[in-house]
Amino acid sequence: MVTNGGDPLRFSTGDGIDILASKEKFINYRFKAVRSPSVPNFHEGNYKNLNSSEPILASPIAAQPNYESDRDTENLVLNSEHDGTNSLIDLYRDEIVHENKDSNDSEEGEIFTRKEEEIENSSEVEQAFSGSPSKLVSVMDNAEHFDRYGFRKQNNFITEGVYNKWWEGYSQYCIRRKHKWVMLLEKSGLSVDNDMPTRFPPRSEKLKRYVRKGIPAEWRGNAWWYFVRGQEKLNKNKDVYEKLLVKMGDLNDEQQRKKLIDLDVIERDLNRTFPDNIHFQKEQFQNKEPPMIQSLRRVLVAFSLYNPKIGYCQSMNFLAGLLLLFMDEERAFWMLVIITSRYLPGVHNVNLEGVNIDQGVLMLCIKEYLPEIWEYIYPKQKLENQHKHDSLNISTEVLKNEFLFKLPPLTLCTASWFMSCFIGIIPIETTLRIWDCLFYEESHFLFKASLAIFKLCEQDIIKDKPLHKTLGQYTLPNSNRTSRYSRLSQDDYDMEIFQIIQSFPKRIIDPNDIFEKIIFKKRIALNRLDQQEIDRCRKYVSNQRLKYKNYKDLIGDQESLKKTTNRMNNNINIINNNNITRESNNNNNSNNNNNNTSSAAESLMKEINMTNDLMNDTLSSEVYGFKKGLSSVHWNNSIKERVKQMRRKREKDYQT
Amino acid sequence: MLQFKLVLLGDSSVGKSSIVHRFVKDSFDEFRESTIGAAFLSQSIKLDEDDTVIKFEIWDTAGQERYKSLAPMYYRNANAALVVYDITASDSLSKAQSWVEELKNKVADDKLVICLVGNKLDLCQEDSGKRSVEISDAKQYADEQGLLFFEVSAKTGEKVNDVFKSIGESLYSYKKEELLSKSEQNGTNTHGQVDLQLQKPATSDPTSCCT
Ligand SMILES: Nc1nc2c(ncn2[C@@H]2O[C@H](COP(=O)(O)OP(=O)(O)OP(=O)(O)O)[C@@H](O)[C@H]2O)c(=O)[nH]1
Ligand SMILES: [Mg+2]
């Protein structure tokens, strides 16, 4: 549920001057205190000053040769002869050299023992880049193995050769897009000073298209910050981050730290965040803790102090880590606050209910927009469950939506897509393109991107169907066996889907596989998905899950009620039996007992039937509302409340 | 070939992913990304007995406490569970024990094979002072609960394959029992189908060649 007030369509704050003023203050502040020590900065001003060559990304001239051919942006012409590729890789290598030029050997204080004065220390920035000659050598040797963000190009799914081949074309694309952005900003009267624009044009279809085609990498930090209205948030919370850091510094006491179990988990995760990115690798920093890891610790601990309801949840290390590659600590912190509340509500909470809700929503989306795939994801169980429940008097509505409660096995794979916003799920450049859209278009884009991935591997998912059939066939002679085999084959089939769903995304190295092939194709149904639908679906799924849970609790109650009733009936029988042999003077008494007990049992049975009826009513009266179902949306109170009320009324009736 | 589902459970950072990686890829990284949600992997082994090939479909889960609420989805249909603790961190054993309890309470299948695994053996071989869970204590617990038990090192690879082999053997012997009792019940007619089932994936499973 997107809760931050304010019209999502109006993000242009209208008080740009304010933002500029506070931005200046912010820059001062960050150099004094908590500036992220190691924003790697393919975009940092001082990088440019110290470098003899202008970064190619910032130079419109460099992009000129391709500009004309790119007029029609729907029709990309990738010119591989241009040497921008190498320049971009060089750019990265230069940056490393720069970092080392700045190196000095001063010690970094540990965060927990750090005093205010040390934070004030103005050599923070230089310390941040404390490298060493040995680092210089090692990175110089290896630079071509890493991408412009510092990630190793090669992984289990993509070879360096494949990466370089792709990058040759994609870097051209980036240059062309950058040029377009520069023109757009200039036309809107916004400055691109120092290649670090801080304001962007007002929302429009055109801007949305530009964002979807990718924000220039070196502008990303600023653009994300602008689109999520980060400065507004920061202005409302001045000094909060600094105070959290002070509070964190006060956590010296072992005793105190023990109490915060999150600290342990955070510590364990620091070195397990982007181990294949040079900014996070000890070896690159003389085996001292990389500044980036120190920043990461501060952001995560500060967050766990700031929001105890979430504390620390594994996956936030990746979110914060990626943010830190693009912006300083304080902004990364607020972005994390915004992501976990506005875009992924409840997902990182202690009970992870948000994860389940979003998985339910994703299933609804697949059912709605990719029905061909849905059939493969959710076929058998439905029937099986129907059988199981036949004996119980359960509403068809519960059955119809059972996949919202008992999530299909596929969600075992897709849950992490949302928790980390695709970090580690798909290659980094594609992830970043999705993040661009997430911050401009809000959370529905995560669902849209997920659907696009499913759409891309639709053929892989569907092609296994024949196997499915043959397995069922050769077991036909014995009906007993059939169910067994078809269950087995469904299991096998699930495994197939897991394999596909887990490995396919890892190969989407080219973001335009998702964007050009799916997102930009208007006729593909899933592109109709919008934020309102997601908001409604989230509400719907969360309500349904709650009711189902209450319902389960009630069923549990009823089971025990039934048992009690049975026991009472038994008692009655025993009493009756006894009565036969009893003396007549006891007879009156036990008959009284008998009457009381049987009417209690009766009322319990009535209540059970009542609950069932009520449940049927309530669950079927809700609609989740993709656009077509919109008219009849209406919500009911929690069923548990209503049952309680009725129970109370009944008790009263019974007493009188 | 027989296929079985196996789930890895245990506290964060005890080395679940490292063990699986050692088993599947025979490699070890000092720093491996912490697991989010869960990861799905598969690997086959060959048992000495009858040259049976067993394919494990493995769910490697995330260890942080709050992920516990998602765990039932992963062990729902599991045939085997690897419950891992870190022999240099005693609280990780109690976490492992609570997993064992949960499995015993929640998994209906009484044929579920549970294996308790103490990881990071290499650290204690280097410096015995690092050990904080005695092997005898863990072994005793495992025996009481009827669990398989190993101490391993994902780093050096010591005993890792033994874990999966012994799980495979247990599963295979259960399977044989099951098939045997079935064919006894159903008479000679089903015998052909039992064989059929044993061979099934070898002829029709397109994944059998991969990992
Ligand atoms: N010395 C040593 N270190 C190990 C061994 N196994 C794992 N580690 C280290 O322990 C840390 C955690 O290992 P992981 O495999 O990521 O742990 P995990 O259980 O998967 O953790 P989660 O994914 O958070 O649940 C890593 O830094 C590994 O290098 C081992 O056998 N010996
Ligand atoms: Mg792991």
B139-188 pLDDT, tens digit each: 999 999 999 999 999 999 999 999 999 999 999 999 888 888 887 776 65
The helix, strand and coil proportions of chain A, stated in percent and rounded to the nearest 5, come to 70, 0, 30
Residue B130: its pLDDT value, please? 94
**Distance between B36 CA and the closest CA of chain A, angstroms:** 6
Positive or negative: CA dihedral A295, A296, A297, A301:
positive
Q: Which residues contact A286 (CB under 8 A, 6 or more apart)?
A: A130, A131, A132, A134, A135
Cα B168 to Cα A260, B49, B58, distances in angstroms: 40, 11, 13
Residue A481: its pLDDT value, please? 37
CA A318 to ligand 2 centroid distance, Å: 14
- Amino acid identity, position A186: E
Give the CATH number, domain containing residue B88.
Answer: 3.40.50.300
Residue B53 forms part of a structural domain: yes
- Tell me, using a 6 A CB cutoff, whether residue B15 lines ligand 1: yes
Residue B192: its pLDDT value, please? 43
The sheet with strand B38-46 has its strands ordered as B38-46, B53-61, B2-10, B80-86, B113-119, B148-151
- Amino acid identity, position B4: F
Task: Answer yes or no: are the C-beta atoms of A297 and A38 closer than 8 Å.
Answer: no
Q: Please give the residue of chain B at the shortest CA–CA distance from A262.
A: B64
How many Å apart are CA A445 and CA A625, to the nearest integer? 18
**Distance between B17 CA and the closest CA of chain A, angstroms:** 12
Task: Answer yes or no: are the C-beta atoms of A143 and A99 closer than 8 Å.
Answer: no
Residue A597: its pLDDT value, please? 57
DSSP B4: E
Give CA torsion, residues A247, A250, A253, A256, to 10 deg: -10
Residue B132 forms part of a structural domain: yes
How many Å apart are CA B4 and CA B14, to the nearest integer? 24
- Tell me, using a 6 A CB cutoff, whether residue B83 lines ligand 1: no
Cα A496 to Cα A366, A489, A504, B208, distances in angstroms: 18, 10, 12, 11
How many Å apart are CA B190 and CA A444, to the nearest integer? 53
Whole domain around residue B6: which residue ranges?
A: 2-185
Q: Which residues of A touch B200 (CB under 8 A)?
A: 471
Ligand 1: residue of B32, B33, B60, B131 to mutate (most ligand atoms within 8 A of CB) is B32
Cα A555 to Cα A492, A559, A621, A651, distances in angstroms: 33, 6, 20, 20
Could you tell me the domains of chain A? 160-227 (no CATH), 229-343 (1.10.8.270), 349-385+399-465+488-574 (1.10.472.80)
- Closest residue by Cα to residue B113 from B7, B2, B1: B7
Residue A103: its pLDDT value, please? 36
Residue A130: its pLDDT value, please? 35
Tally C-beta pairs within 8 A across A and B.
Answer: 98
**φ and ψ at A498, to 5 degrees?**
-55, -50
Residue A194: its pLDDT value, please? 81
Query: Which residue in A261, A272, A349 has the most chain B C-beta atoms within 10 A of its own C-beta, making it the best mutation to test that interface?
Result: A272
Q: Which residues of A touch B67 (CB under 8 A)?
A: 314, 352
Query: Which residue in A264, A283, A407, A412 has the most chain B C-beta atoms within 10 A of its own C-beta, making it the best mutation to test that interface?
Result: A412
Task: Answer yes or no: are the C-beta atoms of A541 and A624 closer than 8 Å.
Answer: yes
- Tell me, using a 6 A CB cutoff, whether residue B39 lines ligand 1: no
Q: Which residues of B touch A352 (CB under 8 A)?
A: 66-67, 69-70
**Distance between A573 CA and the closest CA of chain B, angstroms:** 35
> pTM for this structure?
0.75
pLDDT, tens digit only, all 211 positions of chain B: 899 999 999 999 999 999 999 999 999 999 899 999 899 999 999 998 888 999 999 999 999 989 988 888 889 889 999 999 999 999 999 999 999 999 999 888 888 999 999 999 999 998 989 999 999 999 999 999 999 999 999 999 999 999 999 999 999 999 888 888 887 776 655 444 444 444 333 333 333 333 3
Residue B197 forms part of a structural domain: no
Residue B208 forms part of a structural domain: no
If one counts every other C-beta atom within 10 angstroms of the C-beta of residue A417, the result is 26
What residue owns the CA closest to ligand 1's atom 6? B15
The verdict on a CB contact (< 8 Å) between B31 and A419 is no
Residue A352: its pLDDT value, please? 92
- Closest residue by Cα to residue A438 from A208, A202, A218, A181: A208
- Tell me, using a 6 A CB cutoff, whether residue B95 lines ligand 1: no
- Residues within 5 A (CB) of ion ligand 2: B 16-17, 35
Q: Which helix (H) or strand (E) holds B58?
A: strand B53-61
If one counts every other C-beta atom within 10 angstroms of the C-beta of residue A141, the result is 9
Q: Give the max Cα distance, chain B.
A: 61
Q: Which helix (H) or strand (E) holds A75?
A: none
Angle of CA points A130, A140, A95, to nearest 5°: 55
- Amino acid identity, position A646: M
**Distance between A351 CA and the closest CA of chain B, angstroms:** 6
Residue A595: its pLDDT value, please? 56
CA B119 to ligand 1 centroid distance, Å: 9
The verdict on a CB contact (< 8 Å) between B57 and A495 is yes
Q: Which residues of chain A have pLDDT under 50?
A: 1-41, 43-138, 140, 381-382, 386-387, 389-393, 466-487, 579-591, 629-638
CA B155 to ligand 1 centroid distance, Å: 9
The verdict on a CB contact (< 8 Å) between A265 and B73 is no
Interface list for chain B against chain A, based on CB atoms closer than 8 Å? 3, 12-13, 29, 31-40, 42, 57, 59, 62, 64-67, 69-70, 73-74, 77, 190, 193, 196, 200-201, 204-207, 210
Cα B38 to Cα A274, A352, A500, distances in angstroms: 17, 14, 15
How many Å apart are CA A177 and CA A67, to the nearest integer? 9
Number of domains into which chain B is organized: 1
Residue B85: its pLDDT value, please? 98
pLDDT digits (tens, 9 = 90+) for A380-405: 544 555 445 444 445 555 567 788 88
Ligand 1 atom showing the smallest separation from residue B29 Cα: 29
- Tell me, using a 6 A CB cutoff, whether residue B14 lines ligand 1: yes
The verdict on a CB contact (< 8 Å) between A424 and B12 is no
- Tell me, using a 6 A CB cutoff, whether residue B158 lines ligand 1: no
- Closest residue by Cα to residue A417 from A443, A395, A382: A443
How many Å apart are CA A634 and CA A623, to the nearest integer? 7
**Distance between B98 CA and the closest CA of chain A, angstroms:** 18
Task: Answer yes or no: are the C-beta atoms of A335 and A425 closer than 8 Å.
Answer: no
